[in-house]
Amino acid sequence: MGLWDSIKGQLIDIIEWNDDTKDTMVWRFPRRDNEIKNGAKLIVRESQTAAFVNEGQLADVFHPGTVTLQTQNMPILADLKGWKYGFNSPFKAEVYFVSTRVFSDRKFGTKNPIMMRDAEFGMVRLRAFGNYSIRISDAATFVKQIAGTGARFTLEDLEEQLRDMVSSRFADALGQSKIPALDLAGSYEQLGQYIATKMATDFQPYGLTLVNLFVENISLPPEVEAAMDKRTSMGVIGNLAAYTQYQTAESIPDAAKNPGGLAGSAAGMVMGINMANTMGAGMAAGVNAVNPSSASAAPPPLPKAVSFFASLNGQQAGPFEVVALTEKVAAGQFSRDTLVWKQGMATWTAAGAVPELKSLFDNVPPPLPAQG
């Protein structure tokens, strides 16, 4: 290799960057100590910007296109180097290529729950997740404020800082939006646009633009979601009185298969029916209060449950409703021979002889006969 070939190899006559990565934001043209040839070609492709730095000071910035480097199109660098009448010899300068494409699908999420005052739930804690997109809008500012003088600056070098910035501002914007917690799911798009607008000024000092922000999910605490599921279940059931009666009717065949537990099952059925009747009467009263004309179509209220006094252990006890006496039969504390009395009866009578109580002893055997 001759002397001229050696010198020629030290001169740069084509400056370009073929970016084959997806995460490089700034790339410094290599061979830093070599000189750039006067009249060299600078090729800046679409989604790129080239910045020239002289002795640590940012000079000229070039946008997409092919440029022949001369004094006329490098006014700042010419002034810094004192080229008053142009230059004819090679010169030294650092060239940084800046990617201006959109870096999309950057994930963010709240590290801690966001405390929010909600009109329906009061104080709630929310967690949010989503993604956002950014691009470098001011190459000179980005190089000076963020990238520095490294040979290569990637998105990973900035990822954590951006994520923290988005998460922090997201919490503020969510609280200011005043959207009720139950309406957030239907307002993700609106919320994302609102937050992106509020955060735009936070990115400008770094030469960045927040292109968009999408909210993927905002979740309530598990205990609140569980309460909402219960409320939804109640709405699906609808008429609770009818549902209780249906459940009681369904339990009768199972009770019949277990004679030993029939007394307890009967007590449960009576209690269920009484509960259903009570709730049904309450619902009917509410309907009649709203629409008096419907009162005439409603059936009359059921008669009150019958109560009996009983002679237990030689003492008068009660009054007991049929449900309570059913339980005493099952416990062996009440039998056919137990004397009972209710309002309207002339005298105390054995329970087995009272029509309303006969059914309580259908599955209870009579006393054993005396041994002769």
pLDDT tens profile 18-56: 988 889 999 999 865 667 888 889 999 999 999 998 888
Indicate the burial class of 352 (C-beta count within 10 angstroms; 0-12, 13-18, 19 or more).
middle
Quote the tokens at residue 366. 């009579």
Residue-level pLDDT, tens digit, the chain, 372 residues: 443 444 444 556 899 999 888 899 999 998 656 678 888 899 999 999 999 988 888 889 999 999 998 888 888 888 888 777 777 778 888 899 999 999 998 888 877 777 777 777 777 788 888 889 999 999 999 988 888 777 899 988 888 888 888 888 877 777 777 777 777 777 788 888 888 888 888 888 889 999 988 888 887 777 766 766 666 666 666 566 666 666 676 666 666 566 555 445 555 555 555 555 555 555 555 545 445 554 455 676 666 677 888 888 888 887 888 778 788 888 778 888 888 888 888 888 888 888 888 778 776 666 666 665
Query: Whole-model pTM?
Result: 0.55
Q: pLDDT digit string (tens) for 260-295?
A: 554 455 555 555 555 555 555 555 555 454 455 544
Going from N- to C-terminal start, the domains of the chain cover: 3-99, 103-138+153-224, 307-360
In sequence order, what are the residues at sequence separation of 6 or more whose Cβ sits closer than 8 angstroms to the Cβ of residue 82?
none
- Least Cα distance to 170 among 263, 108, 256 occurs for 108
| CATH domain 307-360 topology | Dna Ligase; domain 1 (3.30.1490)
In sequence order, what are the residues at sequence separation of 6 or more whose Cβ sits closer than 8 angstroms to the Cβ of residue 163?
106, 107, 108, 109
Any idea which residue has 């009185």 for tokens? 241
Q: Which CATH number fits domain 103-138+153-224: 3.40.50.880, 3.30.479.30, 3.40.50.360, 3.90.79.10?
A: 3.30.479.30
CA of 77: how far to CAs of 71, 86, 94, 108, 224, in Å?
Answer: 8, 11, 11, 41, 63
Biggest CA-to-CA distance, the chain: 145
Q: Are 77 and 53 in contact (CB under 8 A)?
A: no
Side-chain-side CA neighbours of 86 within 13 Å: the count stands at 7
